[in-house]
Amino acid sequence: MNPTSKKRVALYLAQYDTTAKVLHAAEKVRKAGYTKFDAHTPFPVHGMDGAMGLKDSPVGWIVFFSGLTGVSSALLMMWWMGGVDYPLVVGGKPGFTLPSSVPIMFELMVLLSAFGALFGMLGLNKLPRHHHPIFESETFRSASDDKFFISIESEDPKFDLAETKSVLESTHPTTLEVVEEPMDEEKDEASEEHHA
């Protein structure tokens, strides 16, 4: 680490090498009453949501409403353009006809729902975010490969260097480290470079 730049403790990072261990650890940490903690795994680990006591994801609702917008806007567009703004006799039919509008209504519904789903997810996850303090840790790079991590952030009300350490140690992590982040925002990039 670069000693010149001022650091502050960002989070504890505990590493495990099996899914079972990390699941177990997550349990413990939650039971210990921590709220601002997280598990980092290369793939979603079954039962982890329960272990961390997460609420059901609201993505579904976002999709529902964006889908609704899709249908109605499609219907509105075709009704206004064909039936109101410039009605024409096409094949002896009225300007606006519902049956022939169904396909486009469906397509627009799907389109907007899909946008809702992806961008809803990113929104809820506050992504993209390229400078999370956790990236300061070199060991964390394997989080996307074959290792499993529990992180407890310093913002957590129960966070205490000593006590939190002991809680984590009781979960038998393979490694345990304190991750610090430079306090200076613009230095951020530079230091990350340095770590690389």
Partner 1 sequence: MSYRPIKEIGEVYLTDEGMTFHEVSDTVCGVTERKAPRNWWIAFFIAASFTGVLGAAIGYLFWQGVGVWGNNAPVYWAWDITNFVWWIGIGHAGTLISAVLFIFRQKWRTAINRAAEAMTIFAVICALMFPGIHVGRVWFAYYMFPIPNQMALWPNFKSPLIWDLFAVSTYFTVSLLFWYSGLIPDFALMRDRAMGMTGRQGKIRRMVYGALALGWRGSNRHWQHYERMYLILAALSTPLVLSVHSVVSFDFATSVVPGWHTTIFPPYFVAGAIFSGFAMVMTLMIITRAVYGMKSIITIRHLELMNKIIMLTGSLVGYAYAMEFFIAAYSGNEYERYVFMNRAFGPYKWAYWTMITCNVVVPQVFWVKRMRTSIPVMFAVSILVNIGMWFERFVIIVTSLHRDFLPSSWGYYRPTLVDMGIYSGTLGFFFTCFLLFIRWVPMVAIAEVKGVLPQADPHDASVHEEEEESHGGHEPEPEAAE
Partner 2 sequence: MSKRKPFPTLPDTAPTAKKVWKSLEEKRDPKPAAEAATKEFISPISLTRRGLLGFGASTAALATSGCLRRPIEHIYPYTKAPEYVIPGVADHYATILPRRGEVVGVLVESHEGRPTKVEGNEEHPTSLGSADVLLQAATMDLYDADRSTDVREKGKKSDWAAFDKAFAAILKTSQADGGARVRILSRPSSSPTFVRLRAQAKDKYPHARAHWFAPVAESGSREGSRVAFGQAVVARYNYAFAKAIVSLDADFLHGEQGALHATKGFVRGRRMDRPSDPMSRLYVAEPSLTVTGSNADDRIRVAASDIDSLVRALAAELTTRGVELGAIKDVVATAKPPEGSEAFVKAAADDLVANKGKSAVVAGRRQPSHVHALVHAINTALDNVGRTTSYAPVVDVTEPADLGADLKALADDIDQNKVDVLIILGGNPVFDAPGDIKLAEKLDKVPTTIHLASHFDETSEHCTWHLPLAHELETWGDGRAFDATYSIQQPLIAPLHGGRSAIEILANLTDEAPKGHDLVRTTFRERAAVPSRFEGAWKTAVRLGLDAGSNSVQFEAHATLDEVAAAITKAPLTKPITASNMEVTFSPCNKLHDGASANNPWLLEVPDPITKIVWDNAALLSPTTAKALGIESQDVISISREGSPAIEVAVWIQPGQADNSIGLSLGWGRQNVGRYGNARGFHVSPLRSSKSMDMLDGVKVSKAGKTYKVVQTQDHDRMEGRPLAIDATVDEYKANPNFVLFPGDRKEEVDIGPLHRELERPGSVTPKTQPLWDRVKYEGHKWGMTIDLNACTGCNACVVACIAENNIAFVGKEQVFRGREMHWIRVDRYYVGESEENPEVAFQPVACVQCEEAPCENVCPVNATIHSEEGLNDMAYNRCIGTRYCANNCPYKVRRFNFLEWRGPEGAQQRVQDMYQDIPETEKMAFNPNVTVRMRGVMEKCTYCVQRIEEAKIGARRESRAIAPNEIKTACQQTCPADAIVFGDLNNPKSEVSRQNRSDRGYALLAVLGTHPRTTHLGKIRNPSPALRKHAKPSEVKREGGSGETPK
CB distance 15 to 176 below 8 Å: yes
Is 117 a residue that touches partner 1 (CB under 8 A)?
A: yes
Question: The tokens of 101 are what?
Answer: 């509008």
Q: Report the alpha-carbon distance of residue 35 to residue 66 in Å, rounded.
A: 31
Phi, psi for 168 (deg, rounded to 5): -65, -40
Q: Report the alpha-carbon distance of residue 85 to residue 78 in Å, rounded.
A: 10
Please give the DSSP secondary-structure letter assigned to residue 44: P
Strand partners, 93: 90
Q: Report the alpha-carbon distance of residue 151 to residue 61 in Å, rounded.
A: 29
Is 76 a residue that touches partner 2 (CB under 8 A)?
A: no
Interface residue with partner 2 among 43, 55, 56, 86 (CB under 8 A) is 86
Interface residue with partner 1 among 32, 134, 176, 178 (CB under 8 A) is 134
87 binds, options partner 1, partner 2, none, Cβ within 5 to 8 A by partner type? partner 2
Piece in contact with partner 2 (CB under 8 A), picked from 9-17, 79-87, 153-161, 175-183: 79-87
Is 159 a residue that touches partner 1 (CB under 8 A)?
A: no
The least CB distance from residue 39 to partner 2, in Å, is: 52
Interface residue with partner 1 among 7, 24, 165, 187 (CB under 8 A) is 24
Hey, CA dihedral for 90, 91, 96, 102, is it positive or negative? negative
The least CB distance from residue 41 to partner 1, in Å, is: 5
Is 103 a residue that touches partner 2 (CB under 8 A)?
A: no
63 binds, options partner 1, partner 2, none, Cβ within 5 to 8 A by partner type? partner 1
Is 43 a residue that touches partner 1 (CB under 8 A)?
A: yes
CB distance 124 to 57 below 8 Å: yes
Is 56 a residue that touches partner 1 (CB under 8 A)?
A: yes
